[in-house]
Structure 1
């Protein structure tokens, strides 16, 4: 199962964060519109990501709800029929909720930086340090901490869970 070290935090200054991401990545980033449907599960999280262009991904992940960098194990499968898959999974599992966002993706080394504008929540930054097989979670933590420093992400801006948790009032931050 692929692994990454993930950090999620509120953004205090969108324009500054955007400029830093552009400088770090050497690009303007890629804009991606996403609609995530979370399904009821007994463990982990299962979501269908609809890219609103006829394609999507079914993503299952397990990640502790802790502040700061945390290890996430995930599996994903691409689909050319997100609406049909959503209908089947809704019947089988029921829907926990939906998250709609505009995402700007920046690649910095082995890290995917997402600047997210989440409907009904606000602006966020998410770091995903994609680990190589030979790397430990501690290696990913070090990379994440460096990027957190560059983006001026402080401890009081960190989030523990997913956007879905915030929308449902389960997030403590």
Structure 2
């Protein structure tokens, strides 16, 4: 089974980070993603009874993540599939007891080098972030640790301070802002 190994960090200098990405990585695409997070009625936001519908251009994707933190490193399993009739899918999920609890909008640039995917993003109502991830198949704890070391090295190459690493999920930060 594939595991997504990921870290994200706040970006203090968008232009410098974008220049370093362009110089050292392969540009993949510009994106504009709109996410709706659904939660089963009667459950708290911390429960696992939630999923996401993402609009990425003209495509819609449903994602459920088995999220886990290994110390401060995200190690996730995902179930993800594309849907063609988003309105019908939303109506069905609402009929089953799911309600939208948060929206997220993400604009930015995707880069890649080898197995590494890097996204420089502006998250509406939050700010600027860099995400670095790779997919590993049935990784051992040693492989996960090695991936983390490489992620931290990539942050160094991009002049991203380790003190800017963010361990909260975006929806946690958005909800905290919403409650202020």
| Greater gyration radius | 2
Q: Does 1:166 align with 2:173?
A: yes
| Higher strand proportion | 2
Does the 8 Å CA contact 1:129/1:143 hold for their aligned counterparts?
Answer: no
Instruction: Work out the CA distance in 2 between the residues paired with 1:45 and 1:152.
Output: 35
Secondary structure at the aligned position of 1:18 is classed as: helix
Which consecutive unaligned segments of at least 5 residues does structure 2 have?
A: 41-46
Higher mean alpha-carbon deviation, 149-158 vs 4-13, is at 149-158
Q: Does 1:110 align with 2:86?
A: no
Which consecutive unaligned segments of at least 5 residues does structure 1 have?
A: none
Task: Name the TM-score, length of structure 2 as normaliser.
Answer: 0.82
1:43 counterpart residue number: 48
2:23 counterpart residue number: 23
Higher mean alpha-carbon deviation, 135-144 vs 120-129, is at 135-144
What pairs with 1:10-159 in structure 2 (closer than 5 Å)?
10-27=10-27, 29-40=28-39, 42-43=47-48, 46-53=51-58, 55-64=59-68, 68-92=72-96, 93-133=98-138, 136-159=143-166
Number of aligned residue pairs: 168
Per the TM alignment, residue 161 of structure 1 is displaced from its structure 2 partner at its CA by: 2.2
Task: Name the TM-score, length of structure 1 as normaliser.
Answer: 0.85
Instruction: Work out the CA distance in 2 between the residues paired with 1:115 and 1:82.
Output: 27
CA RMSD of aligned residues (A): 2.2
